[in-house]
Amino acid sequence: MSDALEQALEAHIAALELGIARQASHEAVERLQRSYAYYADKGLWSAAADLFAEDATWEWGQSGVYVGSARIRAALALRGPEGLGRGDLNNHYTCQPIITVAPDNRTAKARWRSDMQFCREGKASWGEGTYENSYVNEDGVWKIASLHFYVTVLWDYDKGWVYGNISMDPPSETLPPDRPPTEVYASLPEVYLPAYHYPNPVTGEQPRKPTLPELPVDDALAAEVEALETRLERIEDQRACEKLQRAYGYYVDKAMWDDVADLFVEDSTLEIGGRGVFLGKKRVLEYMGIGLGPTGPQREQIINHQQFQGIVTVSEDGKTARGRWRAFVIGGSSWAAVNWGDCLYENHYRKIDGVWVMDKLHAPFTMYTLYTDGWHKVTTPNTRPESFPPPPDLAPTVVYLTYPNYYCEPFHYPNPVTAKEAPPPNPAAGGVANMADFASTDD
Amino acid sequence: MPPERRQQLAERLDRLATELQRREDYLAIIRLQRAYGFYLDKGYWREASNLFAEDATFEQGVDGVYAGRERIHQLIVKLSGGNPGPGLPYGQLHERFQLQPVITIAEDGQTAQGRWHELAMYGQYGESAEWGDGVYENAYRKEGGVWKIAALRFYPNFVAPYEGGWATLAPVEDEAGWRSPALVDFPPDRPPSATYRPYPDVHIPPFHYVHPVTGKEVGR
């Protein structure tokens, strides 16, 4: 009996050690890739190259492949000398990670995206694209093993995407790469789907959990183990919900409607803008396919739905969760409006047989504007059930106006410091009356 | 099970509890800063200032250091258009994306630092629209089990008009002289800890953390 207890405790503690170490690795990979972006922002090429493993590879757009940190440093420096000159801008907002740490905690893969703001020789441009990178844990230090950035779009600031597309540079002639591009493709107006390193988070194969021996109910150490296991599981739950939401965004980007619908179940709901409520997976698929166009990325079209700044709150029992997010939308095509969109989500997630699924997707719009004009000149009103087909199953749960008007979707979480719920907005919010003349409960 | 073996397992569990706490702290700090952004978006100034410790400091650009939660509250209101909230008046856009966190928690788990990249959309309908870019290097402190912002240091890099964007910006002539106009009648408690010239000059906000691989200081 004593031996059985010891073995059971040993097995559980070893699993906890690995589980917690993998979470620490998740953080390390975040630090690594975000640091790469902070260094690239300022032309700190040496610091950026030092993030790579000895035999790592680096590939940006159609640059071809550079092998080893010395060659990567040289390739980065093609952009310009170490540090940037006055007027040069090289911003890389690097976001929306889906990080998969291997079960043995020795390697990892991640999908990310960067929004890039450039300025060179007085000419401003933007870009956006996807990373599919790999990482290696060398004696406890995580390094980038391969970086592959797929350019989705580059555009002239003054003209916008679709009308001001800039094509990717071919491989450098002054510093030819060690290998040609691994995949040949072109950015907008062409489209390309960089392969996802992970299966669909709901319908795909699930990570296997080891079966552990049962723990006795009356042992103090066993109780401690179980308490830690629950806490670790809540962290894993949060990470799973983040992955679900980010995967949703990456699928919408490329009009992968079947994969989008697969994140929902039969009694899930979807409500976007003012279009009303769609019930169940099948109607989600109709909303996307009938309302937004054919499946798969379409030439001369971009529908980036970038998922940023998630606050995920998992319930104490680990069965449900909520999430507040923003979507930063780069949308449009040669046959329809080209617009910036800024949206919010207050979503519900649910765990079914160990798998987190979308329970209620609720996405109020904040602001949509035409690229050519900007939000100070033109804003697109909120959508309505009749804005485009198909009609909803249920009327909108809330009717509100978008910018320049004001609407605040209630926060699902109390203030992280005071633990109090935020009050409703001041009655004068959205109007021109002086808010100070109206009672406010914000103190 | 022999007592010494039990003791051994108990010690491993203690270490694990500490490690797990650090993972929870990491997520709590990220939540704190993201919550700050979501409150600012919607004009919830009091909710935002309540995220600060009582004796916290706030420093933006070359505006100088403002100390104490109540001063910070007044500062946030002034910097954001002056309305008391909660909420924004007709036509104001104030989207402050909090992106790309690098969080470093101290050995004792009681303090932390974080670098963030902010992308902002400012606007007044019918008048102006701007893109904002900047980096935070903030300090956080745990008080009674709750993480709070202990020091907010924001390094704005640009606020660029929608038309023409950042390519239209002229260099700042006086490194100490580009204070926020909204704060002219609201002097700081202390002078700026450092001055710099924003874009189109190149300024590297100091990194609170060493290089993740080499362990060396970067950008100094």
Q: Where are the domains of chain B?
A: 3-183
**DSSP character for A77?**
G
Measured in angstroms, the CA of A171 and the nearest CA of chain B are apart by: 27
Measured in angstroms, the CA of A374 and the nearest CA of chain B are apart by: 7
- Look at the domain A2-156 and name its fold: Nuclear Transport Factor 2; Chain: A, (3.10.450)
What pLDDT, on the 0 to 100 scale, is given for residue A442?
57
Q: What three-state secondary structure class fits A48?
A: helix
Residues of chain A with pLDDT under 50: 1
Q: Is B173 in CB contact (< 8 Å) with chain A?
A: no
Q: Which chain B residue is nearest to residue A13, measuring alpha carbons?
A: B13
Please state the pTM of the whole predicted model: 0.98
Q: Do B9 and A9 touch (CB under 8 A)?
A: yes
Nearest to B135 by CA among B122, B153, B151: B153
Share of chain B above pLDDT 70, in %: 100
Separation CA B39–CA B41 (nearest Å): 5
Q: Which residue has the tokens 């009050």?
A: A423
Separation CA A262–CA A293 (nearest Å): 18
What pLDDT, on the 0 to 100 scale, is given for residue A224?
97
Q: What three-state secondary structure class fits B40?
A: helix
Q: Which chain B residue is nearest to residue A239, measuring alpha carbons?
A: B27
Measured in angstroms, the CA of A283 and the nearest CA of chain B are apart by: 31
Report chain B residues whose CB lies below 8 A from the CB of A424. Answer: 86
Measured in angstroms, the CA of B60 and the nearest CA of chain A are apart by: 19
Please check whether residue B114 is in contact with residue B135, taking contact to mean a CB–CB distance below 8 angstroms. no
The first and second tokens of residue A114, run together, are: 């960067």
Q: Does domain A235-412 have CATH number 3.10.450.50?
A: yes
Q: Is A435 in CB contact (< 8 Å) with chain B?
A: yes
**Residues ≥6 apart with Cβ < 8 Å to A40:** A48, A76, A90, A92
Say whether pLDDT at B19 is over 90: yes
Report chain A residues whose CB lies below 8 A from the CB of B147. Answer: 416-417
Q: What three-state secondary structure class fits B103?
A: strand
Report chain B residues whose CB lies below 8 A from the CB of A89. Answer: 166, 199-200
Q: Domain segments of chain A: what residues?
A: 2-156, 235-412
Mutant choice from A403, A418, A437 vs B, greatest count of B C-beta within 10 A: A403
Q: Is B171 in CB contact (< 8 Å) with chain A?
A: yes
Q: Is B186 in CB contact (< 8 Å) with chain A?
A: no
Q: Which chain B residue is nearest to residue A226, measuring alpha carbons?
A: B13
Mutant choice from A38, A218, A402, A437 vs B, greatest count of B C-beta within 10 A: A38
Measured in angstroms, the CA of B28 and the nearest CA of chain A are apart by: 9
Q: Do B84 and A440 touch (CB under 8 A)?
A: yes
- β partners of residue B97: B119
Cα–Cα distances (Å) from A15 to A23, A102, A362, A391, in that order, read 12, 14, 37, 49
Q: Do A39 and B218 touch (CB under 8 A)?
A: yes
What pLDDT, on the 0 to 100 scale, is given for residue A441?
60
Q: Which chain B residue is nearest to residue A231, measuring alpha carbons?
A: B20
Please check whether residue B65 is in contact with residue B192, taking contact to mean a CB–CB distance below 8 angstroms. yes
Q: What is the pLDDT of residues A268-323, one digit of tens each?
A: 999 999 999 999 999 999 999 999 999 999 999 999 999 999 999 999 999 999 99
Residue numbers of A between 203 and 222 with CB closer than 8 Å to B: 221
Is the bond leading into A390 cis (omega within 30 degrees of zero)?
A: yes
What pLDDT, on the 0 to 100 scale, is given for residue A2?
67
Separation CA A195–CA A185 (nearest Å): 13
Q: Do A20 and B20 touch (CB under 8 A)?
A: yes
Residue numbers of A between 230 and 289 with CB closer than 8 Å to B: 231-232, 235, 238
Q: What is the pLDDT of residues A230-254, one digit of tens each?
A: 999 999 999 999 999 999 999 999 9
Q: Do A27 and B23 touch (CB under 8 A)?
A: yes
Mutant choice from A30, A376, A412, A415 vs B, greatest count of B C-beta within 10 A: A376
As for the ipTM of the complex, it is: 0.98
Separation CA A164–CA A141 (nearest Å): 42
Nearest by CB to B12, which of A13, A23, A30?
A13
Mutant choice from A89, A101, A330 vs B, greatest count of B C-beta within 10 A: A89
Q: Do domains A2-156 and A235-412 have the same CATH topology?
A: yes
**DSSP character for B69?**
H
Please spell the DSSP secondary structure of A228-270, one letter per residue: HHHHHHHHHHHHHHHHHHHHHHHHHHTT-HHHHHTTEEEEEEE
Nearest by CB to B213, which of A50, A231, A406?
A50
Q: How confident is the model at residue B219 (pLDDT cuts 50, 70, 90)?
A: confident
Q: Does domain B3-183 have CATH number 3.10.450.50?
A: yes
Q: Is B90 in CB contact (< 8 Å) with chain A?
A: yes
Q: Is A400 in CB contact (< 8 Å) with chain B?
A: no
Measured in angstroms, the CA of B65 and the nearest CA of chain A are apart by: 22
Q: What is the pLDDT of residues B81-101, one digit of tens each?
A: 999 999 999 999 999 999 999
